[in-house]
A and B are shown apart, each in its own frame.
Chain A
Amino acid sequence: MSKPEKLIENGIRLDGRKPDELRPIKIKVGVLNRADGSCYFEFGGNKVIAAVYGPREVHPRHMQKSTSAVVRYRYNMASFSVEERKRPGPDRRSIEVSKVSREALEPVIFQEYFPRSAIDIFVEVLQADAGTRTAGINAASLALADAGIPMKSLVSACAVGKVDDTLVLDLNKDEDNYGQADMPIAMTPDGKITLLQMDGHLTRDEFREGLEMAKSGCMAIAEMQKAALLEKYSGQIGGDAIE
């Protein structure tokens, strides 16, 4: 596809959203049987699935830490997830995404409860549509909760960007490709920022405004994450006993 003439017309984006509107989100917690925790997350055209294994033994052994758990995060894109087939396996981009995503989640995990063990997070992008790392973090956060890993809070993530000189929340693929800036952000419900990346061109004021915009987006996602957890567990907590 070539660059559309305008990405925003009369304040409405090409996919019909307002500048500060998120794409539709669908969440399902506990979708895999073998994993200790799992989550399926749809974020617009993104379809990602996260699995958590652990706390479990660390292999290779030399990676283990004597005072806390090691958290490992593998972000992987399926070869069929993008327009042009992606060569399978980790590339430089996915290694970087894995690193920043792991760091986005580590602060909320009580790692010191599990010395000499590993908490493994696997995120598989089945379909990519701009914003896969944020979708992955949202899914992984719920998969951790589903696995029963003690956490201080959930982590929610979304991106802010600039297209046609306007700040927009949650870029879609065209906006990502032809936009002027992209800034993925992850935060805890109390507003602490655990992931911040940016590329493109933003003025200082646009940056400040964008940060606030991302905050409101993350808060909205946090509510949906909570609802998805409740959907799975509210029936189980005491529910059976009462009947």
Chain B
Amino acid sequence: MAELRKDYIYNLMIKGEREDGRTFDQYREITIDTNVIEKAEGSARVKLGDTHLVVGVKIQPGTPFPDTPDQGVIITNLELIPLASPVFESGPPREDAIELARVVDRGIRESGAIDLSKLCVTPGEKVWMVFIDVHVLDDGGNIMDAASLGAIAALMTAKLPAKRFDLGEDSPVPIRDVPVAVTAVEVGGSIMFDPSLNEQSIAGTKLTVISNQDGCLSGMQKSGVHPLTTEQINYIVDNAIEKAKELRQKFLEI
């Protein structure tokens, strides 16, 4: 089965085609709905082609880390729950889920998307803790990009629940940047962006590039066993930065 699918996609690729008719650098249809969960401080539902996930942001006061007494805390978690795919199993997150969560986290953290110093209530004692939880509901491939889009969208609509904790008036989460993750896979030497489930399952390697509003890179992760050449990497990086600009437009619609 896997071999047949591999042959099919590979043969299409040689003709310059993809199974769903897209060009190699074309994304699937993206819809982002925000504030879908009222109990959460911020939330977003993302559909990227067949991939469907919900991101919830919960915010509550807590103690800061000793080495950053005046900064808020971000904690990102991602679960590949068995509801989303026959190959996901219950139990503690495995390495692929941990990797996804850590790359989403890196995008938010390293881009400086949230001004952590503004999440400080009392230095050394009380700061806002921002929990970003990604719930994958349907795995249609490229969870990475969908989760990153969802995380920043949920944060952009999230409120610090100050009133509930007697800490003043509610205020929006201080957002400074909109990092966007763009993922490409290498299949038989060709590069395809936004891989579908089938493309992803036969791909040798995957490269995620996260870029900021200023067009600079804030995170990158190669995942998978095939090596990449410098040319392939530079090609993906250049295209990812351009692609991110397009995707960022989506947020103007929120």
Contact = CB atoms under 8 A, between A and B. Distances in A.
B228 A95 contact: no
Contact of B221 (A93, A197, A201, A202): A197
A116 to B, nearest CB: 19
B222 A204 contact: no
Interface in B88-117: 95-96, 98-99, 101-102, 106, 109-112
Interface in B44-83: none
A100 interface: yes
A177 B109 CA distance: 14
B220 A197 contact: yes
B229 A207 contact: no
A198 B217 contact: yes
B149 interface: no
Interface in B182-221: 207, 212, 215-221
Contacts of A199: 106, 109-110, 218-220
B216 A204 contact: yes
Nearest to A211: B230
Interface stretch (A9-17, A34-42, A143-151, A187-195): A187-195
Interface stretch (B26-34, B127-135, B157-165, B232-240): B232-240
Interface string A84-100: 00000000110110111
Contacts of A203: 215-217
B224 interface: yes
B226 interface: yes
A107 B226 contact: yes
A193 B217 contact: no
B98 A96 contact: yes
Given A92-B98, A204-B237, A196 B225 contact: no
B172 interface: no
Interface residues of A, number: 31
A192 B224 CA distance: 14
Contact of B223 (A100, A188, A193, A211): A100
B233 A211 contact: yes
Contact of B222 (A195, A201, A215): A195
A106 B222 CA distance: 14
Contact of A201 (B216, B223, B226): B216
A47 B234 CA distance: 33
Contacts of B95: 95-96, 98-99
A40 to B, nearest CB: 27
B229 A193 contact: yes
Nearest to A107: B227
Nearest to A208: B234
Contacts of B111: 201
B241 interface: yes
A4 interface: no
B225 A201 contact: no
B230 to A, nearest CB: 6
Contact of B102 (A96, A188, A194, A196): A96
Nearest to A197: B221
Contacts of B101: 92
Interface in B142-193: none
A8 interface: no
Given A192-B227, A194-B222, A199-B109, 11 more contacts: A99-B223, A100-B223, A103-B222, A103-B224, A106-B225, A196-B207, A196-B228, A197-B221, A199-B218, A203-B216, A204-B241
25 contacts: A95-B95, A96-B95, A99-B95, A99-B96, A99-B99, A100-B222, A107-B225, A107-B227, A192-B228, A193-B229, A193-B230, A193-B233, A194-B222, A196-B207, A196-B228, A199-B106, A199-B109, A199-B110, A200-B218, A200-B219, A201-B218, A204-B237, A204-B238, A207-B237, A211-B230
For the complex of A and B, list the 7 residue pairs with the smallest distance between their C-beta atoms, beginning with the closest.
A192-B227, A198-B220, A196-B222, A199-B110, A106-B225, A99-B95, A194-B227
